[in-house]
Structure 1
Amino acid sequence: MKNFLLAIAVFAVGFSLKAQTTTAPDAAKKDVLVVKEAVYDFGKIPQGKPVYHNFSITNSSTTPLVLENVQASCGCTTPEWSREPIKPGASAIIKVGYNAAAAGYFDKPITITYAGGMVKQLDIKGTVWTAPEGSAPANASVDFLKKQNL
Structure 2
Amino acid sequence: MHKSILSLLICLFAIASLSAQIEPQPIVHPDTPREVKEGGPIMQFESTTVDYGTINKNSEPLRTLSFTNTGDEPLVIKSAKGSCGCTVPTFPREPIMPGESSVIEIRYSTNRLGKINKTVKITTNEGTQPHILKVVGNILDTQEEESVPKSAPSMLSGGN
> Do they fold alike, i.e. is TM over 0.5?
yes
Aligned to 2:47: 37
The structure 1 residue matched to 2:133, chosen from 122, 127, 130, is 122
Runs of at least 5 residues in structure 1 that lack an aligned partner in the other structure: 1-25, 139-150
Partner SS, residue 142 of structure 2: coil
Cα shift at 1:70: 0.7
Cα shift at 1:49: 2.8
Runs of at least 5 residues in structure 2 that lack an aligned partner in the other structure: 1-33, 151-160
Deviations 1:80-137 (A, max 9, x none): 1111000011111001111112211111101100115331111111111012367786
Structure-2-length-normalised TM-score: 0.62
Partner SS, residue 133 of structure 2: strand
From the two aligned structures, give the one with the greater strand fraction.
1
Once the two structures are overlaid, the 10-residue window that deviates more, 39-48 or 72-81, is 39-48
The structure 2 residue matched to 1:132, chosen from 131, 143, 147, is 143
Percent identity, aligned pairs only? Answer: 31
Structure-1-length-normalised TM-score: 0.66
Partner SS, residue 69 of structure 1: strand
Aligned to 1:63: 73
C-alpha change, 1:27 and 1:108, in structure 2 (3 Å) is: closer
> Bigger radius of gyration, 1 or 2?
1
Contact map agreement 2:35 2:129 (CA 8 A) in 1: no
Structure 1 residue runs of 4 or more that deviate by more than 6 Å after TM superposition: 134-138
Cα shift at 1:54: 0.9
From the two aligned structures, give the one with the greater helix fraction.
1
| RMSD of equivalent CA atoms | 2.5
